[in-house]
């Protein structure tokens, strides 16, 4: 058996096209384009590439892109002041502060200052709490993209056993909440989990978000399971995921690295920006169709 490769790139292209059509409808109804503000502090090379990609994708989807690039020695007070200005700017529907921030800036303080209605990353405690309690929320982009890929493959996830490897606020925790919301039985595994392979072997769905190259081994995976590899690890041989590629001989379906989850993150960011714009402007956006 060889796993079906889940083409995140193709799915993301379709999502971006749907968002573009809906953004055009929003612009006609609201008399302005949805607006996304991205803030980059410092010159981290990977972050700079992400910011450029986000800017291009935002414009291509018919939205306004506002980029704010600040020097690495920007102090926390200045960054918080910029966030407050963006909160108050009616042209801005979504605010994304690119992480990681320089070590002298408290990331939690910055995230908490963003207006939850503009928090398109879904990291604000209000959005995290709403997700955890089953209320409408802006949801972190990567986990929501993973869920979209899973539901495209399995229209109903109800009753399936899922394991999320990783407990970060960015991926692991919200991924678990989303799967619970789909009535999966969810295990969260992490660095302290004993006999992690035994837990993984029970799972119909494996989401690996641990940041360790080729961490998930073929003999860990239940034959026919669906494997979502969130990892992007730079090694001497190139980009590799958190899942050993040999898992493809066991799994029923899996995402490749690159070309799996990665393209979904920016596509869902555009989707979240449009959803935020619709809610703020009182313009109906068919969120279920996105």
**Exposure on the CB side of residue 30, measured as CA atoms within 13 A:** 24
136 has catalytic annotation? no
From the CB of residue 256, how many other CB atoms can be counted at a distance below 10 Å?
19
Residue with tokens 């999320």: 164
Cα dist. 194→62, 166, 189, 228 in Å?
A: 48, 14, 9, 22
The residue count for the chain: 290
219 has catalytic annotation? no
**Of 93, 98, 119, 229, which is the active-site residue?**
98
Q: CA-CA distance, 222 to 165, in Å (whole number)?
A: 15
Provide the Cα torsion 139, 142, 145, 147; round to 10°: -80
**Of 115, 121, 229, 244, which is the active-site residue?**
121
Residue 37 parent element (H or E): strand 35-41
**Segments in the chain forming alpha helices (H):** 8-30, 45-60, 76-88, 107-113, 125-132, 141-153, 172-181, 196-201, 262-281
7 has catalytic annotation? no
Indicate which residues carry an active-site annotation.
54, 98, 121
């Amino acid at each position: 058996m060889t796993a079906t490769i889940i083409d995140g790139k193709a799915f993301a292209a379709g999502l971006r096209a749907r968002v573009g059509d809906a953004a055009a409808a929003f612009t006609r109804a609201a008399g302005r384009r949805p607006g996304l503000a991205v803030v980059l502090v410092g010159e981290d090379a990977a972050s700079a590439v992400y910011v450029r990609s986000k800017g291009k994708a935002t414009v291509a989807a018919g939205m306004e892109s506002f980029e704010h690039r600040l020097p690495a020695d920007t102090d926390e007070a200045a960054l918080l002041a910029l966030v407050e200005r963006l909160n108050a700017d009616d042209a801005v529907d979504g605010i994304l502060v690119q992480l990681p921030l320089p070590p002298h800036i408290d990331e939690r303080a910055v995230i908490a200052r963003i207006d939850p209605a503009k928090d398109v990353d879904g990291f604000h405690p209000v959005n995290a709490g709403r997700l955890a309690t089953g209320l409408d929320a802006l949801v972190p982009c990567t986990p929501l993209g993973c869920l979209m890929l899973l539901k495209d493959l399995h229209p109903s996830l109800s009753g399936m056993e899922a394991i999320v490897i990783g407990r970060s606020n960015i991926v692991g925790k919200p991924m678990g909440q989303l799967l619970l919301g789909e009535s999966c039985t969810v295990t969260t595994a992490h660095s302290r989990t004993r006999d992690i392979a035994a837990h993984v072997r029970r799972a119909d769905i494996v989401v690996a978000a641990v940041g360790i190259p080729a961490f998930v081994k073929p003999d860990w995976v239940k034959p026919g399971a669906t494997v979502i590899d969130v990892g992007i690890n730079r090694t001497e041989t190139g980009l590799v995921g958190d899942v050993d590629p040999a898992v493809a001989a066991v799994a029923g379906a899996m995402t490749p690295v690159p070309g799996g989850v990665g393209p979904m993150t920016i596509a869902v960011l555009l989707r979240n920006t449009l959803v935020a714009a619709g809610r703020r402007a009182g313009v109906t956006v068919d969120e279920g169709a996105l």
